[in-house]
Amino acid sequence: MASGAALVSFSLAQPLVEAAATVAFALSGLIEAARKRLDAVGVVVVAGLAAFGGGTLRDILLDRRPFFWVQHAAWLWALLALCVAAMLFMRARHFAITERAMQWPDAVGLGLFCAGGTQIALAAEMPAVVAVLMGVVTATFGGVLRDIVCNEVPRAFSDHRPYALCAFAGAWLTVGLATAGLGGEVALLGGAALAFVLRVVALWTDYRLPAWQHGPED
């Protein structure tokens, strides 16, 4: 359970972290939509699903109203502005759209959202294991929706490089630091940093989890 100190400082860092995570995931969705050569509406929809999907599912499961993007409606205008600016920039600069370009903002969003979602669940007095699962859901579900709409098997399930496991580790560190009474900002940034670093190391080293072994009948 979160400590009193963590809950006191919860409101100071949480909106900033959630805003940064939303922008990071919006960028990942925007880049993936551009890579798939979707039209302007498709780019905005995919960026919105990536940015708001995980947090919306978390809020539904926690029965938290209003949804975080309704509470901060300015983020919707920021999303539209980001998509328009990015499309104009990529068209003018002939920016090369690669899968690797999408992975870095995705890693940033993964770390920030996993810690932020965990702390929101702790603030709602959820048990530690539930808070961790809410952190993982917040961090991964937007990317799952992004990949499904772009006609991809979600990378969270098929990439074999640690993804949800990175969020899982970061969420547990957030719980541990909050329970130790080190303050909301320390718990938030510590968990986010761990998940981000683990994901970056997995991408940098191309480390892969064991894959399903096909038999002769396959």
Question: Per residue in 83-125, pLDDT tens?
Answer: 888 877 766 665 556 667 678 888 898 999 999 999 999 988 8
Give pLDDT < 50 ranges for the chain.
1-9, 11
pTM given for the model: 0.81
Give the number of residues written for the chain: 218
Contact (Cβ atoms closer than 8 angstroms) between residue 147 and residue 163: no
Q: Which residue has the tokens 């100071």?
A: 12
CA dihedral of residues 33, 39, 41, 42 (deg, nearest 10): -30
Question: Per residue in 137-152, pLDDT tens?
Answer: 999 999 899 999 988 8
